[in-house]
Structure 1
Amino acid sequence: MAAPHEVPGRAITIRRGQFWIPGERVATPGGTVQRAPMFVQWEAPPDGAHPLPLVLVHGGGGQGTDWTGTPDGRPGWATRFVEAGFAVYVVDRCGHGRSPYHPEVVGPMGAQFPYEAATALFLPDEVRDEQTQWTYQREIGSADLDQLVSPMGPLPADLAESQRLDADRLGRLLDVIGEAVLVTHSAGGPLGWLTADARPDEVAAIAAIEPMGPAYAEFPGLGALTWGLTSAEITCEPPAQRPEDVAGRRIPALADLPVAVVTGGASAFAGFAPQVVEFLAAAGARAQHLHLPDHGITGNGHALIFEANSDDTVKPVIDWIRAVEEDRP
């Protein structure tokens, strides 16, 4: 078997770098430490880029590598966005990947992400025949499934606090790079809504890939979307006295914001996506359901960002972002 660098592939010239969004300084018996910094890796075309950069926010127990590669070693969506002319900023959410986690500072960890949960989420047996784009091995002990599960770690046990931390760091990232389009996946979905709430003038649009939902859903062992589509509090008008009052109220940060809720044809998330769109539209967003089969792309599950046809699944998203840019005054 050839080494990865010996496998033929498309050459791409890029500019790249990395930096940190620091966390708060916390005094401990051992000295002053930092709480929950966020690692940021960026890439851009060699000569200029589209006006709006993209911020790629991974889901659940994953990390930024969800966007940079696939289980079979192909380039991920991040590379395809750069090839399309966009600058991309890929984050490791607080406590994930290269963003360090210490429970005495960040808070208790949740459970480690098991193989069984990964298979139930990304390649459930009940849609095996429809999920034709999962061409990788499926069995626990297989090399492909090892590649899928290896980067997955625990989430903070307090889902609301985890979302608050991430939204704060993402907001401060936007303070550095300026107005941007957020591209979120799965449990990263709530961070799109919360980051817009934190920096309404710096979020130009949100492409939510298979976002968590529907509103007020509970996820055993993980937490609940207490405030509609988020676990952390989000601002609405008139102000909500209780989390359950958010539904149907205007969320000022989402007013007239372009949002695409993107789903695969073999994903359970497609079933409740219309409810997510309805909730966002009631909040004031210009929300639409971008269902891949409607664009001639079939056979995809929850992992559509790194399934076998990931080079195809990204194309409608690129087209949608370009249309958002063209529609701007």
Structure 2
Amino acid sequence: MAHFYVGGKYVGEPGKEYMDGAMYVELWVPKQVRQPYPIVMFHGNGQTGAVWQQTPDGRPGWAYYLIDQGYVVYMVDYPARGRSPYVPSVDGQLGMRTATELEQIWTAPATSGGDFPRKNKYTQWPSNSPKKGMVGDPVFDNFIKGQMQFVGNQDKLAVPAGIALLDAIGKPVILLTHSQGGGIGFDVAEARSHYIAGMVSIEPGGPQIGTVDTAKVAYTRTNPSSWGLTTNKYEFDPPINSPAELKTHLEPSERPGDEVGCYMQDAPVHKLVHFQNMRILSMSAEGTYHRVFDACIPKWLNQAGAKDDFVRLEDVGIHGNMHEMFLDRNSDEVIKFIDNWLRKNINTKAVSGTR
């Protein structure tokens, strides 16, 4: 195990400089490296890299499983969070989720007032407490201690640092991202596609074009500044100079009442230059509020030339999970599925040199 920092720059007046934008990276190396590509793990909002290391009930996290399978693993704390420096005068105001918000969207949506269609499907919180998933549940009380403050525009700091990390590694990696880390990962992949062997995208922030009310399963507005995956610029073929040139239409929902329809490009489709044939595994849990829109980013990517396998976990026999599936009672089932997909679709490509 080792750690280091990447990215960052000096800010402030001469004699009053601060280091801003640097990112903490933790490196785990197995005794015997048996997999061809390292895994770089980007966490979600309010989290740090510690979320991959242990579940709130004390079981080994996904990082330990990956090490046991022979992967080199990199975990980060985004700039301005956790073990990475935060400069108040530059990075802006901090936000933080309340215990009630965490209960409603993640840990106890069915009993604490959550408002999304699949809230009753969540069954895998790792506790048997009468207060399961809520304040007073020892597992929840442990979980909330690891919830961190966050800045409003995290990608401005995290994307340059993520690019710096891939440059420091200097060879192809597998990006494994969660939630907020999804958009950050897409932006990093856009800038350094030659370092991307493949991606695992767990319920990335979205959807790609509009804002969704998950309680009503409906769009509240479109986002005219979106380049499709995020509001940062992407290279398309045929080329465009503005997101306004991406003409889209809303397709009807395949699962009305459960999932929104998705915005897709009108013909002729502009292809994502740096995502052509990129192998991606996108995943959505059975009991997540994200299910309302999780299908849309994979559809967008596939239309634009990527090869994104979108998996609803219940369709592969993994039931009852929430947005943070790596913390759930059956978290090992999920990472085993990911590992098997990587071995079949990514790791085997290392020999042939194909993506």
Considering the TM-score relative to the shorter chain, is it more than 0.5? Answer: yes
Moved more, 137-146 or 34-43: 137-146
Distance 2:204 2:244 in 1: 20
C-alpha deviation, 1:30, in angstroms = 4.9
Decide whether the 8 Å contact of 1:94 with 1:165 is kept in 2.
yes
1:21 aligns with 2:21: no
Match of 1:207 in 2: 200
Q: C-alpha offsets along residues 87-136 of structure 1, whole Å, 9 cap, x if unaligned?
A: 1000111111111212213x212422211221222132255542111133
Match of 1:3 in 2: none
Distance 2:54 2:210 in 1: 30
Distance 2:302 2:159 in 1: 21
Equivalence map 1:224-243=2 (5 Å): 226-243=226-243
Decide whether the 8 Å contact of 2:19 with 2:85 is kept in 1.
no
Match of 1:10 in 2: none
Match of 1:295 in 2: 316
Match of 2:255 in 1: none
Decide whether the 8 Å contact of 2:32 with 2:70 is kept in 1.
no
Amino acid in the other structure paired with 1:112: M
Amino acid in the other structure paired with 1:130: K
Amino acid in the other structure paired with 2:173: A
Moved more, 318-327 or 227-236: 227-236
Match of 2:147 in 1: 152
Match of 2:276 in 1: 255
Moved more, 206-215 or 242-251: 242-251
Moved more, 55-64 or 226-235: 226-235
Distance 1:244 1:118 in 2: 36
Equivalence map 1:39-54=2 (5 Å): 39-54=24-39
RMSD (Å), alpha carbons: 2.1
- In 2 relative to 1, CA 128–216 (structure 1 residues): closer, same or farther, beyond 3 Å? closer
Moved more, 80-89 or 267-276: 267-276
**Structure 2 unaligned spans of 5+:** 214-222, 247-263
**Structure 1 unaligned spans of 5+:** 1-15
Query: Matched residues, percent identical?
Result: 29
Match of 1:135 in 2: 126
Decide whether the 8 Å contact of 2:53 with 2:62 is kept in 1.
yes
- In 2 relative to 1, CA 99–217 (structure 1 residues): closer, same or farther, beyond 3 Å? farther
Classify the secondary structure of the residue corresponding to 1:207: strand
Decide whether the 8 Å contact of 2:7 with 2:165 is kept in 1.
no
Moved more, 117-126 or 184-193: 117-126
C-alpha deviation, 1:244, in angstroms = 4.6
Distance 1:45 1:307 in 2: 25
Match of 1:181 in 2: 174
1:91 aligns with 2:76: yes
TM-score (norm 1): 0.87
Match of 2:43 in 1: 58
Amino acid in the other structure paired with 1:37: A
Decide whether the 8 Å contact of 1:167 with 1:198 is kept in 2.
no
Classify the secondary structure of the residue corresponding to 2:295: helix
Q: C-alpha offsets along residues 50-82 of structure 1, whole Å, 9 cap, x if unaligned?
A: 110000000011111111111101111111111
Match of 1:12 in 2: none
Q: C-alpha offsets along residues 221-249 of structure 1, whole Å, 9 cap, x if unaligned?
A: xxx78332213333333343433544632
Classify the secondary structure of the residue corresponding to 2:26: strand
Match of 1:172 in 2: 164
Distance 1:194 1:279 in 2: 15
Structure 1 consecutive aligned stretches of length 4 or more whose deviation exceeds 4 Å: none
- In 2 relative to 1, CA 41–23 (structure 1 residues): closer, same or farther, beyond 3 Å? same
TM-score (norm 2): 0.81
Distance 1:244 1:117 in 2: 35
Decide whether the 8 Å contact of 2:212 with 2:293 is kept in 1.
no
1:318 aligns with 2:303: no
- In 2 relative to 1, CA 89–114 (structure 1 residues): closer, same or farther, beyond 3 Å? same
Classify the secondary structure of the residue corresponding to 2:2: strand
Equivalence map 1:213-228=2 (5 Å): 213-218=206-211, 226-228=226-228
